[in-house]
Amino acid sequence: MSLSIPQCEAYFVLKSNRLRSAKQSSSRRLSSRTLRVVACLQSSAGSRTDNAEPANDLIIRAAKGERVERTPVWLFRQAGRHLPEYTQYKKKTGKNFLELLKDPKDVAEVTLQPIRRYNVDAAILFSDILVIAEAMNIDIEMPGGRGILVPDPLRTPAALSRVPENVEIEKSLGHVLEAVKEINRQIEAEGLGVPLIGFSAAPWTLMYYMVGGSSKKNTHFGLQWLSDYPYESRDLLERLTSVVIDYLDAQIKAGVHIVQVFEAMGEHIDEENFVKYALPCLERIASELKARHPTVPLMVFARDAPYALPMLQDVAYDVMTVDTTFDGREARNILATSAGKAGLMPKQLQGNFDPALLQADNGSGQVEIESAVRKMLTLFGPQKYIANLGSGLVGTEDPSKVACFVDCVHNFSEEEVACA
């Protein structure tokens, strides 16, 4: 039964005032079901699994298409440069970004900084999209202000001799897996009660960096490889796909609750080549992970390639991400049409708030953020949806504006759900 307007208003005021305190108190209470699960794991595995079932499971339910009481929210690059505590921590440790990634304790600290500050519904592993490339004998550098650089990229197929066909994940990326465990230990110890998202770059994105050397220069090298060396390109993409699968599989076994695949360089591949080269890799990743971990939600982001949304739904991803170039309602319609042809229900969406509104010096304020959030929720709807950005934070955002965005998503979506 629908509530009257006065009832809606009273309900919203009451719930919005309680939202943050409710999160803090509920996240510290383990349900009897959680206790039974942990006890079972202790007795069967002989060791305790930390944060096995987070108290706040909003994002997990939304990713599976289940009904939620409010829309969950997290942010791409929510940990890191925009937070003053991150800058202070780097200064305290004397480490640069890549050095922080090597120490599980550092990774856990940086991962959890935004969870302590904001009312977000998930943590995401503090890492980098090129750790797989580094594990495959590709040197990575990050000089200040110049982005990620590969100083010795794969210029010709002869250089593929440097790239192994497989990677022993526990050996080459074991520090990442230990970081996952440490993050979950800290989440439970601090009573934060949120799930942990793991992630990897997609094979095309990895190949783009490995052959081009930079995100900002030599942008044509990736497509040139596909054109000049089609056989060798497939070989490299197959190797990368195998490693991505094993890496995400290992993250899930270590304790992540959801995985996100980033096809960050969708801008630098046309639709024909995406279908021919990138999509088969993404399909294989989804197929293998669903076979190994059928209950773990899979999220994907093909940035600047909105044409890929129905394709990614068709190959079994649970959540498709919409960037700032596309409209939420249109994305819903596209997924519904594609799924309807197969007699299926459409999957879930994620996105696509414009992070420019969160910049410290752009003149936007609470009114502009509130208006944009309401519009976004109207276009996407509060269900089967995870609120996020249309691209990642860049480091010059105002934390108070980020907090405003997060709280607006919760408050306004809860209002919509209550009044439906």
Extract the tokens encoding 93. 């440790």
What's the pLDDT at 215?
65
pLDDT band at 4 (very low <50, low <70, confident <90, very high): very low
Of 402, 410, 325, 414, the closest CA to residue 369 belongs to 402
DSSP helix/strand/coil, 85: helix
Q: Is the pLDDT of residue 367 over 70?
A: yes
Specify the DSSP element, H or E, that contains 386.
strand 385-389
b/e string for 363-391 if b means 16 or more Cβ within 10 A? Answer: ebeeeebbebbbebbebbbbbbbbbbbbb
Q: What are the contacts of 146-149 at 24+ separation with CB within 8 A? A: 146/216, 147/214, 147/215, 147/216, 148/209, 148/214, 148/215, 149/213, 149/214
Count CB neighbours of 144 within 10 A.
Answer: 7
pLDDT of residue 15: 45
Indicate if the pLDDT at residue 88 is higher than 60: yes
**Per-residue confidence (pLDDT) for residue 58, from 0 to 100:** 98
Q: What is the pLDDT of residue 219?
A: 82
pLDDT at 3: 41
Those residues whose C-beta lies under 8 Å from the C-beta of residue 44, and which sit 6 or more positions away, are: none
Per-residue pLDDT of 250-263, as tens digits, reads 999 999 999 999 99
Residue 18 has pLDDT above 60, yes or no: no
Residue 311 has pLDDT above 50, yes or no: yes
Can you give the pLDDT at residue 218? 77
- Other CB atoms within 10 A of residue 34 CB: 15
The rounded distance, in Å, linking the Cα atoms of 383 and 377 is 9
- The predicted pLDDT at position 54 comes to 97
The closest alpha carbon to 188, from 406, 35, 19, belongs to: 35
pLDDT, average across residues 400-411: 98
Rounded mean pLDDT of the chain?
A: 89
**Confidence grade of residue 13 (pLDDT, cut at 50, 70, 90):** very low
pTM confidence score: 0.89
Residue-wise pLDDT tens digits, 344-363: 999 999 999 999 999 999 87
Residue 362: predicted pLDDT:
85
Segment 181-239, tens digit of pLDDT: 999 999 999 999 999 999 999 999 999 999 998 767 778 899 999 999 999 999 999 99
Q: What is the pLDDT of residue 102?
A: 95
> Which residues, 6+ apart, have CB-to-CB distance to 153 below 8 Å?
138, 159, 209, 210, 211, 212, 213, 218, 221
Confidence band (pLDDT; 50, 70, 90) for 14?
very low
Q: Express each pLDDT in 368-391 by its tens digit.
A: 999 999 999 999 999 999 999 999
